[in-house]
């Protein structure tokens, strides 16, 4: 799995899944937004997309790749775009890109990207086989 850090990649790939405002409470001592906050927002977005794709509950099992490209600043609107990268028997991999809209305007910069793996769960919290909307089962 490769991470696309190509600066010529100027448009987000995937579906806009969440947008949230970076607030002062989420900063590190240097005044930038904590990477862990960005990671958690990406996990939320990835799980939303995974739940819709597998039509049920999921749990995060791995972060296969994550690259921090640029800092997120207080006041940035963090926009996370998601897309299904792979669906297995019980797991789904979601590719994500996080873009920051600087000063809440249309000027945006890619700040992070990653690949998160989720496992589909049944009502008892056990792994289950994935049946997608396009399935012919």
The domain limits of the chain are 15-120
Q: Strand 77-87: give its sheet, edge to edge.
A: 15-21, 77-87, 91-101, 108-120, 58-68
Superfamily (CATH) of domain 15-120: Hotdog Thioesterase (3.10.129.10)
CB 45, CB 18: distance < 8 Å: yes
pLDDT computed for residue 103 by the predictor: 78
Query: What is residue 96's three-state secondary structure?
Result: strand
Euclidean distance between the first and final Cα of the chain, in Å?
29
Is 80 exceeded by the pLDDT of residue 106?
no
Where does 29-109 have alpha helices with state H? 35-54
Closest of 95, 97, 87 to residue 119, by C-alpha: 87
> Residue 1 has what pLDDT?
47
8 A C-beta contact, residue 10 and residue 58? no
| The pLDDT value given to residue 128 | 96
Q: What is the pTM of this model?
A: 0.86
Cα angle at 117 between 111 and 99, to 5 degrees? 15
Query: Percentage of residues in the chain with pLDDT exceeding 70?
Result: 88
């Amino acid at each position: 799995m490769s991470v696309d850090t190509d600066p010529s990649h100027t448009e987000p790939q995937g579906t806009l899944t969440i947008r949230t405002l970076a607030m002062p409470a989420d900063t590190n001592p240097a005044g930038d937004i904590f990477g862990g906050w960005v990671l958690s927002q990406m996990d939320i977005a990835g799980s939303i997309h995974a739940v819709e794709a597998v039509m049920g509950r999921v749990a995060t099992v791995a972060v296969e790749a994550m690259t921090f490209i640029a800092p997120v600043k207080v006041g940035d609107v963090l926009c996370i775009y998601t897309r299904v990268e792979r669906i297995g028997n019980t797991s789904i991999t979601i590719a994500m890109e996080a873009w920051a809209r600087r000063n809440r305007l249309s000027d945006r910069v890619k700040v992070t990207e990653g690949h998160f793996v989720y496992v589909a769960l049944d009502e008892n919290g056990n792994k289950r086989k994935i049946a997608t909307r396009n399935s012919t089962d």
